[in-house]
Chains A and B, each alone.
Chain A
Amino acid sequence: MKLKKGIPVIDQGDRLGFWGGKFGGNFVPETLKKPIEDLEIQFNKLKNDKNFIKERDKYFKNWIGTPTRFIKLDNLTKHVGGAQIWSKVVSDANGGAHKIYNATVHCLLAKRSGKKVIIGDTGAGYAGKMLSMAAKKFGLKCKIFMGAKDIKRQQPNVKAMKKNGADVVPVYSGSQTLVDAVSECMRYWVANCDTTAMCVGSTVGPAIFVRICGWSTSQISRELKVQLINEFGEVPKKLKLYNCVGGGSSSFGFWNEFMDYDKKQVEFIGVEAGGPTKSKRHAAPLTYGSKIGILHGAAQYVNQNGDGQIEETESISAGLDYPGISPLHCFLKDTKRARYTAASDEEALKAYQIVTKYENLRPSLEPSHAFFVALKESKRFSKDTIVIINSCGDAYKDRGILEQKLGKKYVKSN
């Protein structure tokens, strides 16, 4: 298995949509073959269309607010005493997270194909919130599928979705989290694909959704590359990019522009959700050696039992609470381009406390996982090493959990 240079990773799949011959694909019911093919034709044409890119960039700039900040975390750097610690504050983007890029692109595509309704899944509620924002912006009706458990634990985002006029559909099947929300969303699409567009909230699902999402979030690394050159005059010689990985959309977007650099120069570190220290059901298929299986239309490493039933996961962060992982990350793992590890619930909370103590930055629980590993490893790096953590979400949505785990006083003081 080999990563090719000079070709975008999203375009390195084979004729049937498999990366490295075995990750991804289109394991979908016959009914969805046609709408997926239509979307493939549309996307393949538009991604090279100058007018479409112009339109995308216009909304990215004026509505999402690109570029997001690239800042040095001086106090943390001093506190840790090793590498220089920086952050790409993607949570600056309109809505407070990276999910806005994919949502915007899907709405632009839906609009061009004449669809009136767009549906989507959500875990932490960000994908849903952003889709509801973009749908409102582009005049589309919006329906969001969300696990009943997630609805309870991510209320601020649920309220935002409803405020944007979206219909939030609670999903009560299975574990009542993201995995079931994606299933239910796909089922709804099976029954309504003639009138409705579907947006998959991460770089997961049938191959075309993996590609569209990866193409959209790559905005993050496009910006970062420019910012690095402005700051350092070049892409630094020792650069390490830390990102949390749930489905894998923010990390893929954070890395994409640097794919062709030698990993000795630009290293990618993906941090999965290890769940509570005492649990077993970690949402970390790459770290803990899960087997390849099929989930939501794509072959990937996935937590499952011997029979092939998908296993429930457990994580404090709803956005990482997913038993599978993007085929793109399976491909990056097996080609050894990226390195993957996990942080536990407790470690993520600890990192949140440290970051908020030293910096004026409030990463949500998802990037807090990445912060934990980055801060731990930075100690042993030289001073000319540049460590960057993608702070891809804001902790506002986690108020309830943070208050419960760390106490009211702590949350208020931040």
Chain B
Amino acid sequence: MLNPISLAFKEAKKEKRPALLTYTVAGDSSKKQSLEILKEISNYADILEVGVPHNTPVADGGQIQTSAYRAIKNGIKMNDIFKIVRDFKKSKNSKPVIFMGYYNMIFQYGENNFLKKCKKSGVNGLIVVDLPWPENKIFSKKCKKNSINFIQLLSPTTSNKRLKSITKDSHDMIYYISMLSTTGGKLKVSPKKILANYNKIKKISPKKNCVIGFGITEKTISNFKNTDGLVVGSQICKEITRSLSNRQNPVINVSKMVNKLRKKIS
């Protein structure tokens, strides 16, 4: 049986479109609201990345930092995040969930405890921004044993030799970082160039589902229709911030935005 993440890609492929992955920060702007957002956007997104907020995020730009600080300020704790996922997984439209965060949160929880709790709550995959290959070898094996996808990251600076080793050690899904940037940066590389790198990865590793992230927005997303999947994060976080400062409901606004994103690639 396929795992839920691979299944989501398969479903999207049936509809001849890339899978849509969204990123929102758990607890932004409150525990309750972030759960509502997940429930609403899962009507349109295929896989939901749930950001585990951390206060020294070395790879995140302003938008995601703002969301993360807001969530931490509102008192979000690791156990609350697990609970948000568990509650979301009980809802009728639930979709696969991937945690995205920094290694210290896992390290403090204890790797084994963390994975046990992931399994119990229904987390399907993990992206650990600051645990690169080969440092992640042991942990990614542990994930596999627990049927949790450890998602390896690739970037434009990844050498060919490294690319081969990393994809070999990866599970069903890999994540290509489109450009040299923190999250939320403007797309500074042409889509053509990004797709060339994407195709290089697919050639080396045709069976793995490869998603592209960083710089994907309403404006740029339609350039990448012929891919396995696309991640939109910062623009959603920005929309939450904008809604809050305009005293509008972020749940409605974000849901509208994700609906639009989905239409652009369908």
Contacts and interface: CB of A to CB of B under 8 A. Distances in A.
B69 interface: yes
B246 interface: no
A297 B58 contact: yes
Contact of A25 (B65, B135, B154): B135
Interface string A302-333: 00101111100000000000000000000000
Contacts of A191: 180-182, 185
Interface stretch (B8-16, B41-49, B98-106, B198-206): B98-106
Q: By DSSP majority rule, is chain A's interface helix, strand, loop, or mixed?
A: mixed
A279 interface: no
B89 interface: no
Interface in A11-42: 16, 25-35
Interface stretch (B18-26, B156-164, B256-264): B156-164
Interface string B92-111: 00000000001111011100
Interface in B134-184: 134-135, 153-159, 162, 177, 180-182
A403 interface: no
Contact of B107 (A30, A179, A293): A293
Interface string B53-69: 01111111100010001
Nearest to B185: A191
Interface string B184-205: 0100000000000000000000
A173 B69 contact: yes
A190 interface: yes
Interface residues of A, number: 36
Contacts of B265: none
Interface string B123-141: 0000001111111000000
A29 B78 contact: no
A26 B55 contact: no
A26 B132 contact: yes
Contacts of B133: 30
B135 A26 contact: yes
Given A29-B132, A297-B130, A308 B104 contact: yes
A29 B129 contact: yes
B157 A28 contact: no
Contacts of A25: 135
A269 to B, nearest CB: 29
B55 A190 contact: no
Contact of B157 (A35, A179, A296, A304): A35
Q: By DSSP majority rule, is chain B's interface helix, strand, loop, or mixed?
A: loop
B65 A31 contact: no
Interface residues on B, range: 35 or more
Q: Identify the interface centre among B61, B134, B180: most chain A CB within 10 Å of its CB.
A: B180
A148 to B, nearest CB: 15
A31 B157 CA distance: 6
Contacts of A26: 132, 135
A28 B130 contact: yes
B77 interface: yes
A25 B56 CA distance: 17
Nearest to B166: A30
A294 B57 CA distance: 11
A33 B131 CA distance: 11
Contacts of B103: 27, 294
Contacts of A295: 56, 104
Given A34-B158, A308-B108, A183 B102 contact: no
Nearest to B58: A186
A277 interface: no
A187 interface: yes
Contact of B58 (A28, A293, A304): A28
Q: Which 4 pairs between the two chains have the least Cβ-Cβ distance?
A: A308-B108, A34-B157, A308-B104, A294-B104
